[in-house]
Structure 1
């Protein structure tokens, strides 16, 4: 009786194991089948492109980008594929997926350098970098990339509408880069690292001379020279500041810093030999 009972129990246990294993296998197979990608279905190029355009109209940028990518995947040698490449870049840009947009636009440029829309592709790359510019307290690598891309647009397509907008953005980008130099220069000045500060302010004056930061850069440069006891150089800088920005508050501050006096309301007559005139004549 004991032996038979044990045999029946073993058979029952073995059956239960097989049943559980079968159930587990079924669950795994069901999960695998549910994770399969949808079956590839080739569709007419016009249908794919129009669906992507409908997604653009609806502001569904992810679906639009995927749709245009599908046009190229299914019909890579069609005229529609060329259009879809650039439209995909545009859709990625609208979704603020700048990396994908830049990659798509650069690919279009490489594949179609002579296409009439290549100018827009260059511009789109520049704008993607431009819109990622961060405040001057952070690394400005993106800002430099934006400047390079904007200058490329102007260089390649100087008479285009994209070049006109790029020139405006170049001015703003240069102003931003100058602001970064100023922030670093001010830091060095506060720390008493005057030579390092002077180098930064000179960079602003020489490299970014059309920006709004130049008057302050001249003032800070004079301040650094005065801190080093190099009065003649500070006077020369003040003279340049006064000549180019006579109504600037920075010149008022610089004049007081260098002379210890307020700016006179009227300049001396032409025969004056004030330090301002001597400094100006010695430079120019």
Structure 2
């Protein structure tokens, strides 16, 4: 994903980030009293760094230590930069510089792909400074650290669910920020991922002729993930499963809902042929859970 951020009068601002995975590039600009660093590009480094070995620095003014850390970031010495930021937090724990340092540490971890470490620091920031101007940015870093770890649909989707919770928090708490715009896009990607997982399991059940199990999975897609690209196939698979069980009225309804909402879909053409093979046509049963699920969203 692409993350653009800058410190603005002590606060970060986030430009829109498209919900893509893979390489991370970042453009970072810092404005402080008496110091302006603009366009500091942070790219991925070749290896990971270890900050566990503690280095004790002389007690110096927080601003000086903070600026030393920024300079080290410019030189791509991220491990040493984190140590300096941590030193600010240790020696001046109640200062604005400590608060900013915590965010910088989370940001470096994020840009270097150390997502668990980023999440840990972002959580700590939110616990200590929930009402600060930078809280939306910290929440966005937390959500992005989960989002960038979304696994393949064949694997457990716990991180996807965590990402959705953190992204929902941004939309709910900070709806007027630029982070909310990006969060909404990422939420759609995460929902699509969870819907894909349900479809994968549902297809497996269908192949095993476990039609009740398959229907339950496709029902999740139809009721929870109607805005995803999987809903058309889910309606067709419901038609298929209900036909196999001999519950023709529900098969007719799922085919009718599919045709009403997606008349040009190839899945509808297949569903139409399937119900016609039993001598019936798609027909809406308004009492069916399928019709009610779509009617509630104005889709049926």
SS at match of 1:181: helix
- Greater C-alpha Rg: 1
Distance 1:159 1:40, change over 3 A: closer
Contact kept in structure 2, 1:240 and 1:280, CA below 8 Å = no
Residue in 1 that maps onto 2:74: 57
CA distance in 2, matches of 1:187, 1:112: 47
Residue in 1 that maps onto 2:213: 196
Shift of 1:181: 0.5
Residue in 2 that maps onto 1:225: 242
CA distance in 1, matches of 2:276, 2:76: 62
CA distance in 2, matches of 1:67, 1:97: 18
User: Which protein is richer in helix relative to its size?
Assistant: 1
User: Is structure 2 residue 146 aligned with structure 1 residue 141?
Assistant: no
TM-score (norm 1): 0.78
SS at match of 1:67: helix
Contact kept in structure 1, 2:55 and 2:83, CA below 8 Å = no
User: Where does structure 1 lack aligned partners over 5 or more consecutive residues?
Assistant: 1-35, 262-273
CA distance in 2, matches of 1:147, 1:219: 27
CA distance in 2, matches of 1:220, 1:159: 39
Distance 1:54 1:38, change over 3 A: closer
User: Is structure 2 residue 198 aligned with structure 1 residue 181?
Assistant: yes
Residue in 1 that maps onto 2:41: none
Contact kept in structure 1, 2:170 and 2:183, CA below 8 Å = yes
Contact kept in structure 2, 1:130 and 1:142, CA below 8 Å = yes
Shift of 1:199: 0.2
CA distance in 1, matches of 2:94, 2:284: 69
Contact kept in structure 2, 1:62 and 1:95, CA below 8 Å = no
Residue in 1 that maps onto 2:26: none
Distance 1:161 1:226, change over 3 A: same
TM-score (norm 2): 0.74
User: Where does structure 2 lack aligned partners over 5 or more consecutive residues?
Assistant: 1-52, 292-300
SS at match of 2:284: helix
CA distance in 1, matches of 2:55, 2:120: 26
1:279 to 263, 280, 284: 284
Residue in 1 that maps onto 2:21: none
Which structure 2 residues correspond to residues 90-109 of structure 1 after superposition, within 5 A? 90-109=107-126
Shift of 1:40: 5.0
Shift of 1:281: 6.5
CA distance in 2, matches of 1:162, 1:81: 23
Answer with 224-233 or 208-217: which moved more: 224-233
Residue in 1 that maps onto 2:59: 42
Contact kept in structure 1, 2:54 and 2:83, CA below 8 Å = no
Contact kept in structure 1, 2:214 and 2:241, CA below 8 Å = yes
Distance 1:97 1:240, change over 3 A: same
User: Which protein is richer in strand relative to its size?
Assistant: 2
1:260 to 277, 282, 293: 277
Residue in 2 that maps onto 1:166: 183
Residue in 2 that maps onto 1:240: 257
Shift of 1:60: 2.9
Larger RCO (alpha carbons 8 Å, 6+ apart): 2
SS at match of 1:205: helix
